[in-house]
Structures are given as structure tokens and as C-alpha cells.
């Protein structure tokens, strides 16, 4: 079982579970003892057993337990428990869109705040909220490229893989822009010559591979590439960080000079031009991805094959129903002994 709730409701559920329930137990214990003490002071210890003959302390404890369980179940309900999977039949019309993002060390440069990579991840997350029906895939690359998330209409899964991307993910140093282009070619259906888009997000400093040759091959397979350049042509230093994420210095070359990472706009323009796409410079407001989405929105879409889309089932209703039943039982349950039982006790005396 997992909990699907987030935000303040999840905080409230945790407060109820870990603070509210213990406090309620302590309060009920205190209230019971306080009530008995006050009653003893009022009628005296001799009369108290006679006056309390019609009270069932066992039932009183059961009522307290029911109240505690109700609060605990309410906390679980607020946390939105989930288990099991539901399968829905989904039919869509859309494009196949691969998003390739550079995770090389140069993407840690802070000439775009908070950094090139963090700005790119935030822009992708915003872009995902605009898609409806298109299959999205995610590719991470540096000196090599890996498909982080295959083509899917489950944008939540794409975001999950996006969240874990950082510049330590790929051990191969440097940047080879040819690799994500070829990875996208493998990701797409090679028998299809349309409906395929690659959004390539990088600082454009490719140190290996024949980038333009790969772009021309992608164009022959019907892939339209939109490129997004991060950074600026003047460049920025590449920070080095400790395990806590604090900047400890900047990368230097063999001569001890600080290395600056410069945006190579020319290469990115030529890649986009070769495939019929466009080049956009990244901005702090991420307007470039809105423009790319506008371009994609005007493209022809095809009917994607029907598939099952599974998601976890919410089960909070069961806990809510049980909480209501226990609260109702606590309300109707009396802590008084039955009249006949009292009379039998009086007759014996």
C-alpha cells in the first residue's frame, strides 16, 4: 500500500496520526482519572461504589478505543491509501515526441539561473502539462546517451524519470550530440516517415561525433528536430560541488585556467535546419518551449495504437466508511449496565 496524497492534506494526515492520536489517548486517560477524582471529592469514597454500580467501565474503555480508532482511520483516509492497478482502454491521436536533455558537466554552469540543467528540467516539466495524447520519451546524454523513459502517454512517469536527472547520472564525460539523435532514431518507429519530433536541449558544445551527418539521417527518417540552446556565447564557468551541493570551485584545464562553457548556436541552428525544425535560445521564462509547442501543435497527427493505461486504485473509501461506522457505534454505545442486570444485583443484596 502507498499513499497518494500530497501537500497540506498529507501534512494534516501525519499530524493526526503521529500527534493527534497519542494526544487523544493521553487526554482520555487523564479525563477518566480526573472525572473519578472529582466524583470522589463530591460524594466521598464510601458512596462512590454505590453510585457507580450502573456504570460499565469495560464499555467505557471500548468507547474510548472506538474514538481513537476513528481518528486514526481519518488520518489514513486523508493520506489517500492506494493499492492495486486499474486498467483503462486508451485511444489517442498524436505525435511521437522525444525530449533529449544534455546532462554533461557543462550544464551545471549558472549563466542561466539556477543552472542550465535545472532551468531545462523545469521547462520540460512545464511543457509536459501542455501535451494531450502525444507519446513522450526522455533521453539523457553526455558523452553517451541513454533512453531514460520510452515513449508513453503516462506523463507522470516521464516526470518521475526527469526528476532524477543530474550531471552525475552519466559517467562518460564530454558532450556528443550525435548520440541522442541516433538514440531517438532507434526509439521511433523506423517504418514511419512522419509524426516524429525530437526536442534537443543542450549548450551545443559537441566534442565528438558527426552531428550534421546524424541530423541528415534523422531527416530522411522523417524526424523533425527542434534545438534549444542553453547558456550564452560568452560562456560561463563550470562549478564543482561537494556532496551537499555546495560550490567548492570551478573546473580548470591542465594549465590551471578556469574552463568556460560557451553556447554553440551555429551547430544547433544547422541541426534544426537540416531536419526542417527551428533553433531557439533558452530564456529564464522558458518561452522557447511554448514556441516549440505551438510549432508542434500545427503538425499532423496520427491515430496511435490502442493500449492499456494502468494506474493505482484509490482505496480511501474503505477507511472512510470504517471510520464512520466506528464513530456511529461509539455514539450509540452506552456505558450504562442493563436495567435487568442492575435489578438482579439489587435482589441478591
pLDDT tens-digit series, residues 6-27: 778 888 888 888 999 999 999 9
Higher pLDDT, 278 or 237: 278
DSSP annotation of 280: E
Contact between 59 and 335 (Cβ < 8 Å): yes
DSSP annotation of 338: P
Per-residue pLDDT tens for 243-298?
Answer: 766 777 777 766 777 777 678 889 999 999 999 999 999 887 768 888 999 999 88
pLDDT band for position 57 (cuts 50, 70, 90) = confident
What is the gyration radius of the CA atoms in the chain, in angstroms? Answer: 32
Q: Tell me what the mean pLDDT of segment 236-247 comes to.
A: 70
11-19: long-range contacts, CB 8 A cutoff, minimum separation 24: 12/78, 13/75, 13/76, 13/77, 13/78, 13/79, 14/75, 14/79, 16/71, 16/72, 16/74, 16/75, 16/78, 17/72, 17/75, 17/76, 17/79
Per-residue pLDDT tens for 92-149?
Answer: 778 999 999 999 888 888 878 888 899 999 999 999 999 988 999 999 999 899 999 9
348 CA to centre of own chain: 69
Per-residue pLDDT tens for 150-170?
Answer: 998 889 899 999 999 988 888
Q: Tell me what the mean pLDDT of segment 295-306 comes to.
A: 79
Burial of 262: CB neighbours in 10 Å, binned 0-12, 13-18, 19+: middle
- What span, in angstroms and rounded, lies between the C-alpha atoms of 125 and 4? 20
What are the angstrom distances between the C-alpha of 331 and each of 12, 60, 64, 260? 25, 12, 11, 72
- What span, in angstroms and rounded, lies between the C-alpha atoms of 219 and 277? 10
What are the angstrom distances between the C-alpha of 252 and each of 166, 255, 260, 261? 21, 8, 9, 11
Domains annotated for the chain, with CATH where assigned, are 2-84+313-348 (no CATH), 96-300 (3.40.50.410)
Q: Which residues fall within 8 angstroms of residue 256, CB to CB, at 6 or more apart? A: none
What predicted TM-score, i.e. pTM, was given to this entire model? 0.61
Main-chain dihedrals φ then ψ at residue 29, nearest 5 degrees: -65, -45
Per-residue pLDDT at 336 exceeds 60? yes
Amino acid at each position: 500500500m502507498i499513499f497518494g496524497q500530497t501537500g497540506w492534506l498529507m501534512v494534516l494526515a501525519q499530524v493526526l496520526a503521529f500527534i493527534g492520536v497519542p494526544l487523544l489517548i493521553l487526554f482520555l486517560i487523564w479525563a477518566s482519572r480526573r472525572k473519578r477524582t472529582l466524583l470522589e471529592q463530591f460524594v466521598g469514597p464510601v458512596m462512590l461504589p454505590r453510585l457507580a454500580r450502573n456504570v460499565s467501565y469495560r464499555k467505557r474503555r471500548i468507547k474510548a478505543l472506538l474514538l481513537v480508532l476513528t481518528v486514526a482511520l481519518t488520518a489514513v483516509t486523508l493520506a489517500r491509501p492506494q493499492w492495486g492497478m486499474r486498467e483503462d482502454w486508451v485511444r489517442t491521436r498524436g505525435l511521437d515526441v522525444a525530449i533529449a536533455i544534455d546532462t554533461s558537466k557543462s550544464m551545471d554552469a549558472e549563466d542561466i539561473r539556477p543552472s542550465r540543467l535545472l532551468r531545462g528540467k523545469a521547462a520540460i516539466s512545464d511543457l509536459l502539462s501542455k501535451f494531450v495524447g502525444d507519446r513522450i520519451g526522455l533521453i539523457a546524454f553526455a558523452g553517451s546517451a541513454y533512453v531514460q523513459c520510452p515513449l508513453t502517454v503516462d506523463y507522470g512517469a516521464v516526470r518521475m524519470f526527469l526528476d532524477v536527472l543530474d550531471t552525475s547520472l552519466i559517467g562518460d564525460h564530454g558532450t556528443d550530440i550525435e548520440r541522442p539523435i541516433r538514440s531517438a532514431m532507434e526509439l521511433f518507429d523506423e517504418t514511419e516517415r512522419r509524426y516524429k519530433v525530437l526536442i534537443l536541449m543542450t549548450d551545443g558544445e559537441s566534442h565528438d561525433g558527426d552531428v550534421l551527418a546524424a541530423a541528415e539521417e534523422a531527416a530522411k527518417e522523417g524526424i523533425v528536430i527542434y534545438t534549444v540552446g542553453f547558456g550564452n556565447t560568452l560562456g560561463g564557468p563550470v562549478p564543482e560541488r561537494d556532496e551537499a551541493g555546495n560550490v567548492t570551485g570551478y573546473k580548470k584545464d591542465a594549465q590551471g585556467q578556469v574552463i568556460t562553457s560557451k553556447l554553440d548556436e551555429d551547430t544547433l541552428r544547422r541541426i534544426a535546419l537540416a531536419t526542417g525544425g527551428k533553433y531557439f535560445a533558452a530564456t529564464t521564462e522558458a518561452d522557447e518551449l511554448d514556441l516549440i509547442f505551438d510549432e508542434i501543435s500545427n503538425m499532423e497527427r496520427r491515430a496511435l495504437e490502442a493500449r492499456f493505461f494502468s494506474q493505482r486504485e484509490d482505496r480511501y473509501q474503505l477507511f472512510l466508511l470504517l471510520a464512520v461506522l466506528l464513530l456511529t457505534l461509539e455514539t450509540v454505545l452506552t456505558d450504562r449496565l442493563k436495567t435487568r442486570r442492575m435489578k438482579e444485583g439489587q435482589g441478591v443484596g
